[in-house]
């Protein structure tokens, strides 16, 4: 990308973050997503930090204002009411909390963002003070993951709702989700398809099952033990587990500065356990990591972009094979990285997590492949993102075949990823 192009794109990206700023937190996009989302915020905080470090820290502090007493970090924090989104705080039955939140979580990118911001800070004293105050919250959040979602210390955490994976309608969840009944006690009032074409969103049937799970968990009082015992949807998501392992490694770096000897030992033990366990999700036959269905007690043989995320977790044993796989995908589609293998029968290039390119994935995978020494692959992912934004705009996701922009417009994490992209000739494909 030419420098002038990059400068113009960066200016537009900063403008999008400012427009989506609701006073300390950033909505993913106006109307479609009018609250603060968990993993969006981690990316957005880094984007802000590229030009306003104090605002970047604020983003994280606002998300953590929604953290529960037991360490749980919700997937949505409802800072202010809005009519534009379903299911709102009443459906979660958590409207009385201050601030109201959802009752499920999302992939934990937060510790990674905090380390990233701390290490790149120009205002070093302020960054150290803010990171030190955030650090105990991150420790509590990682302890929650293990206590609530891996009580037997297998090294792999369980996900109980497709929304928790951040990849809502991924074909990887089709079979597991089919076991969830369609009946809901909450009447479904979809607001998303008033903002975006239905063909780019999950189907009605998936939505019913999503809400069935919310109804069930609300009825269980959001008790982690009961949810884990009773959920009809129970998967080990390779994406969440890889992101958590990466977050643990970043938390360890923070603990060396802010934590106790005991905390460091605790985090190191989790890293050892998780690192060994994630290897069990590698499929030699598939040439990629798979998620697992805990109810069917089997790996889920669907090749998704999440199946490459162990490189983001600094697991490089299969990095070369994964890079080769990605290059094979690049023969079939014009733009990387499609959310599932383009030769899969479930591939739909415009439908949400069933094919499109998502900026968060390009950022994580470029970072991981770059660190693994797969520089050419990392550069390909970074360049694809820049080119897609240049050609189509700051969309939520993109068609990997023709590059069309899809879903919400002027999207915050797309803007953040654009700001994090290296300039041409900078050499280092790691963000």
Task: Specify whether 215 is catalytic.
Answer: no
For ligand GLC, give the closer residue by CB, 168 or 410: 168
Q: Token pair 């479904």 is at which residue?
A: 188
Closest CA to 202 of 237, 174, 160, 232: 174
Q: Please say whether the beta carbons of 413 and 372 come within 8 A.
A: no
Chain centroid, CA 99 distance in Å: 22
CB of 297 to ligand GLC, least distance (A): 27
Residues 316-355 that bind ligand GLC (CB under 6 A): none
Task: Specify whether 367 is catalytic.
Answer: no
CB of 28 to ligand GLC, least distance (A): 4
CB of 33 to ligand GLC, least distance (A): 5
Structure tokens at 8: 């113009």
Q: How far apart are CA 215 and CA 106, in angstroms?
A: 18
Q: Token pair 């290897």 is at which residue?
A: 279
Site pattern 31..70 for ligand GLC (x: CB under 6 A): --x---x-xx------------------------------
CB of 153 to ligand GLC, least distance (A): 28
For ligand GLC, give the closer residue by CB, 32 or 323: 32
CB of 163 to ligand GLC, least distance (A): 6
CB of 303 to ligand GLC, least distance (A): 19
Active-site residue identified among 164, 168, 250, 367? 168
For ligand GLC, give the closer residue by CB, 335 or 395: 395
Q: Token pair 């903002």 is at which residue?
A: 195
Closest CA to 369 of 396, 397, 336: 336
For ligand GLC, give the closer residue by CB, 168 or 293: 168
Q: Strand runs (DSSP E) across 290-361, as ranges? A: 291-293, 298-300
Active-site residue identified among 250, 396, 399, 410? 396
Coarse DSSP helix, strand, coil percentages of the chain, rounded to the nearest 5 percent: 55, 5, 40
* Interface residue with ligand GLC, options 14, 16, 28, 414 (CB under 6 A): 28
For ligand GLC, give the closer residue by CB, 44 or 254: 44
237 near ligand GLC, rule: CB under 6 A = no
Binding residue count for ligand GLC, defined by CB under 6 A = 7
Angle separating helix axes 3-20 and 375-392, nearest 10 degrees: 70
Site pattern 141..180 for ligand GLC (x: CB under 6 A): -------------------------x-x------------
For ligand GLC, give the closer residue by CB, 47 or 259: 47
For ligand GLC, give the closer residue by CB, 168 or 367: 168
CB of 181 to ligand GLC, least distance (A): 22
Burial class of residue 140, CB neighbours in 10 A (0-12, 13-18, 19+): middle
* φ, ψ for residue 186, nearest 5 deg: -85, 125
Q: How far apart are CA 29 and CA 265, in angstroms?
A: 40
The DSSP code for 340 is B
Long-range contacts of 96-99 (CB under 8 A, 24+ apart): 97/66, 99/65, 99/66
Give the contacts of 54 (CB within 8 A, at least 6 positions apart): 123, 126
Q: How far apart are CA 419 and CA 108, in angstroms?
A: 21
CB of 130 to ligand GLC, least distance (A): 24
For ligand GLC, give the closer residue by CB, 164 or 263: 164
| Buried/exposed code over 52-67 (b: 16+ C-beta within 10 A; e: otherwise) | bbebbbbbbbbbbebb
Interface positions with ligand GLC (CB under 6 A): 28, 33, 37, 39-40, 166, 168
Name the residues annotated as catalytic: 168, 396
């Amino acid at each position: 990308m030419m420098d002038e192009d990059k400068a113009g794109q960066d200016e537009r990206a900063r403008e999008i973050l400012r427009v989506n700023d609701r006073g300390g937190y950033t909505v993913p996009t106006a109307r479609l997503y009018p609250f603060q989302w968990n993993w969006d915020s981690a990316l957005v905080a880094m984007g802000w930090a590229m030009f306003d470090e104090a605002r970047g820290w604020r983003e994280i502090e606002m998300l953590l204002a929604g953290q529960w007493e037991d360490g749980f970090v919700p997937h949505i924090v409802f800072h202010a009411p809005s009519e534009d989104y379903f299911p709102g705080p009443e459906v979660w039955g958590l409207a009385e909390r201050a601030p109201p939140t959802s009752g499920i979580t999302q992939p934990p990118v937060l510790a990674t963002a905090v380390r990233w911001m701390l290490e790149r800070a120009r205002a070093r004293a302020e960054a150290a003070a803010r990171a030190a105050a955030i650090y105990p919250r991150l420790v509590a959040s990682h302890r929650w993951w293990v206590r609530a979602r891996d009580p037997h210390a297998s090294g792999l955490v369980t996900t109980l709702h497709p929304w928790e994976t951040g990849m809502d309608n991924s074909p990887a969840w089709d079979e597991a989700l089919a076991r969830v009944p369609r009946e809901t006690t909450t009447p479904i009032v979809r607001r998303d398809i008033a903002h975006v074409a239905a063909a780019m969103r999950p189907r009605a049937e998936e939505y019913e099952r999503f809400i069935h799970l919310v109804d069930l968990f609300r009825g269980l009082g959001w008790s982690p033990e009961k949810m884990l015992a009773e959920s009809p949807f129970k998967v080990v998501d390779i994406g969440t587990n890889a992101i958590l392992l990466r977050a643990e490694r970043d938390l360890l770096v923070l603990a060396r500065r802010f934590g106790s000897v005991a905390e460091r030992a605790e985090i190191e033990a989790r890293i050892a356990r998780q690192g060994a366990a994630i290897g069990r999700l590698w499929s030699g036959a598939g040439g990629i990591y798979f998620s697992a269905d805990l109810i069917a007690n089997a790996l889920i043989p669907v090749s998704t972009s999440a199946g490459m995320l162990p490189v983001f977790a600094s697991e490089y044993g299969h990095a070369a094979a994964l890079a080769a796989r990605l290059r094979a995908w690049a023969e079939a589609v014009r733009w990387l990285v499609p959310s599932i293998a383009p030769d899969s029968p479930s591939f739909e290039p415009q439908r949400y997590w069933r094919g499109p390119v998502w900026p968060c994935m390009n950022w994580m995978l470029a970072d991981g492949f770059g660190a693994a020494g797969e520089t050419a692959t990392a550069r390909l992912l970074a360049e694809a993102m820049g080119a897609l934004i240049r050609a189509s705009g700051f969309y939520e996701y993109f068609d990997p075949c023709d590059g069309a922009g899809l879903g919400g417009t002027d999207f915050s994490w797309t803007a953040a990823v654009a700001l994090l992209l290296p300039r041409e000739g900078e050499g280092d494909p790691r963000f």
